[in-house]
Chain A
Amino acid sequence: MTAGAVSAIAALTLAACGSGGAGTDTGTDTGTEGAAGGEYTTNGCTPENPLIASNTSEACGGDQLDMFLAKLVHYNTDTAEPEMDIAESIETDDNQTFTVTLKQGYNFHDGTEVQAHNFVDAWNWAAAGPNGQAASYFFSPIEGYADVQCGGDGSDCEANPPETEEMSGLQVVDDYTFTIKTIEAVSNLPVRLGYSAFAPQPDAFFADESEGKEDFAAKPIGAGPYQVESTSSTETVFTKFADYGGDFPGSADKITFVIYQDTAAAYADTVAGNLDVLDQIPTDQLAGRQFESDLPDRSEQRESMTISYLTYSPADEQLKENKELRQALSMAVDRETINQQLWDGARPPLDSWAPPSLPDSPTGVCGEFCTYDAAAAKALYDQSGGYDGTLYLNTNADGAGNVATFEAVCNGWKNDLGLDCQVNQVVDFSTYNKGIDADEYTGVLRSAWLADYPSIENYLAPIYGKGADSNWSDYDNPAFDDKLAEAAAAPDLDQANALYLEAMQILAEDFPTAPMQSRLETIGWSENVSNVKLTPFGKPDRIGVTVNQ
């Protein structure tokens, strides 16, 4: 075909879809769009652990798990609202004893049917201390969780084996029914059950004798719309599962996750047409919206549920004792200018302790203290007595834009408040995490959070609950904890959310952390695919992508 012919066709296609800007998927092609079948490629990264549902709590593994697992609950790809998937119903009278009834006709990829014991056995195995699963803490609300942990400090399971292998809170009633009993009321338990750690495991999983189930993990089995064809360190191949019995089927016959070392290379391949679905646009292509000209009408940007905030280090006496100082510092952060100058609009200012895109999430809880006002901030700062010495802004240097953002915050504080500050770059995230656990840093800590399941509770309890894992600010307020417990016992979600809002207002009063930014995620795709959408979790909905034929 000559160049002239190609350009003529290109012009026709352009004329046919002149409407619709970026981010609205109007369908760019012919009537074949939406037909099932075909294959496409998408970029992935290397999981930190073997591909086992309960051993994955980071994004690289999670992206792949989402392809082949079905859970009790499915999160709507547009709104993140929970919808019943394997569960026919999840019923409770007191938010403490839940009766789960399964739909029939869901099969694992090896042909066995999904039954109640597949859930109960999988959860017992995942929660058990000796198995050392990365996501084991998800099962901690279930009655009997403590009995399956190793004794002592949990570091020597051989010397102190757990009392039992089964949690008393899980009971199989019949093939399609089981009950969950929690230690305390947990009103949002049904929402949590859509997280990948709660996936069922087939009998083949328990038959695997290899250490850490590594044989199983080489070609894991789930009950989702796609099955794992092969895994390797360079690509993972998924094919459509013919016997998928659920309500959320896929379209493409084959999806290949190509592992990229670097987003820039994946971006280049997408522009060149060698990669079909790209799950993030490199930061340097966001600047000046370069990606929109590289991928005309083939990108989408939307708000995700990731937030970033400043944690005032509990190791810093001055900050710990002085609420006015903490508020003044937050007030002197020019969030909008940072958003425009550094991120080209992809990091909107945040004025609440949960992201605006979360269902039923309140906004504006932080109020004036998250609104930039140099004069008022200076007045409040002087009134608070100010900060002696150098204020450190600590961040891991390995995340895109972290250091630049903190440089900007620091310069703003120097100019508006006249304090002395410095950015402390820590080499990588895990070192940074360690340093925080050891209380090494004074000043301000960069913090970010993405919920595992779409509930306001997930932005409060793990971060501000007394003694919680990620409670970097060492926040401890009985009133707040009581409010969380009250919300967890609320009879319905609306009442629970109202109580979570009250809990958040307690946070706003105490100001242990300062909300910084929410996040827009950006994805791109090639001319080979349609119906590529961003989910509220900031990921492309890879199941729903259709291949143009």
Chain B
Amino acid sequence: MLTFIIRRLLQLIPVFLGTTFLIFAMVYGLGDPTAGRCGERPCPASYVARLTEEYHLDDPLIVQYGYYMLGLLQGDLGTTFNGQNVGEELLLRYPTTIKLALIALVFEAVIGIVAGVLAGIYRGSFLDYLVTVSSLVVISIPIFVLGGMAQLVFGIMIPDATGDRLGLPATATDGTWYQLLMPGLVLGSVSVAYIARLLRASLVENLRADYVRTAKAKGLGRGRVIGVHTMRNSLIPVITFIGTDIGALMGGAVVTERIFNVNGIGGYLFRSITTKQGAAVVGTITVLVVVYLLANLLVDVLYGYLDPRISHD
């Protein structure tokens, strides 16, 4: 197992270099980063000249990448054109993104697994139909509609005639747990539906498997048959899904963060792309790549524990 982990970690290095260079090349192609920084007028030539020199904008791409990697090795993720240190920005925003991701993850894991198990065990019952239909509905609604509605209904709308608002926060600017609850639930809602459906499908399949019949024949109780024998195998696709979702959630949720003004990674990345702050885009994605790769590694390691047939040795 240890050799497996070390081997995987070594594999990360070429992947990391490749992805960051690709991102770098794409950001390089965003257009002229000095344009549009002076309102409705073109920027003065002296301004463009200063930025070009300061940020090595006229060097070949590979040289710029070299400068960037040198900085990275010293722990410097670069500075944006408005003088913000990208590393500090990410440190400022990561706690919020992690909180938001945790809320979404707990929500989708708990509710998704419970709903999936119930639907899988009582296949064909009313409960099963309820889960499959409602999850389909949630998947079909775009998240910006869901988020906007949630904000309007819980954050603003007046539920009764006396003029009392529910008083739930409309946005999550400060990033407290309380404020992040609603965006977190909105963010996790689609994954809840996917997890429920995934788990239901794999449960239905595994309940017909030979080893389950054997377990029943041995006279094991129903709870043990389903809870231990079947669930362990059935959870594999769900764990895979949650693993990739962790990576995605760590990348922040662009749409949700925009609607609820969450100061997290997703919104930062989006705004950095639109305002052509190349340093911020590359820096953020560099960190994301690492997070994503580690999340994938974690999932692979978990497989071995869930299913003895999968071995890493």
Contact = CB atoms under 8 A, between A and B. Distances in A.
Contact of B49 (A157, A214, A431, A450): A157
Contacts of A448: 40
| Most chain A beta-carbon contacts within 10 A, residue among B52, B54, B271 | B271
A262 B263 contact: no
B92 A136 contact: no
Contacts of A259: 263
Nearest first, the 7 closest Cβ-Cβ pairs linking A and B are A132-B50, A430-B36, A430-B35, A58-B39, A272-B170, A50-B83, A265-B261
Interface stretch (B61-69, B98-106, B157-165, B186-194): B157-165
Interface of B: 31-32, 35-54, 81-84, 89, 92, 148, 151-152, 155-156, 160, 162-165, 169-171, 173, 257-261, 263, 267-268, 270-271, 274-276
Q: Which of B40, B45, B81, B270 has the most CB of A within 10 A?
A: B40
A9 to B, nearest CB: 10
Interface in A119-166: 129-137, 149-150, 153-158
Interface stretch (A41-49, A167-175, A244-252): A41-49
A155 B35 contact: no
A268 B151 contact: yes
Nearest to A153: B45
Given A46-B82, A258-B173, A269-B171, A428 B42 contact: no
B165 A434 contact: no
A212 to B, nearest CB: 7
A32 interface: no
A7 interface: yes
A272 B257 CA distance: 18
A132 B47 contact: yes
Interface string A232-267: 111000000000000000000000001111101110
A134 B43 contact: yes
Contact of A437 (B42, B45, B148): B42
B40 A149 contact: no
Contact of A154 (B49, B51, B173): B49
Contact of B36 (A153, A294, A433, A470): A433
Given A4-B162, A261-B258, A134 B37 contact: yes
A48 B160 CA distance: 44
B38 A266 contact: no
A430 B260 CA distance: 27
Which residue, A232, A234, A429, A470, has most C-beta atoms of chain B within 10 A? A234
B19 to A, nearest CB: 25
Contact of B163 (A6, A212, A233): A6
Nearest to B34: A430
B49 A433 contact: no
22 contacts: A6-B162, A10-B163, A50-B82, A136-B44, A136-B46, A156-B49, A212-B83, A261-B261, A261-B267, A261-B270, A264-B259, A265-B151, A268-B156, A269-B261, A274-B169, A274-B171, A294-B156, A428-B36, A430-B32, A430-B276, A433-B42, A470-B41
Interface-centre pick from B38, B42, B54 (highest chain A CB count, 10 A): B38
Nearest to B96: A234
A234 B93 CA distance: 10
B258 A214 contact: no
B37 A150 contact: no
B309 to A, nearest CB: 47
Contacts of B267: 261
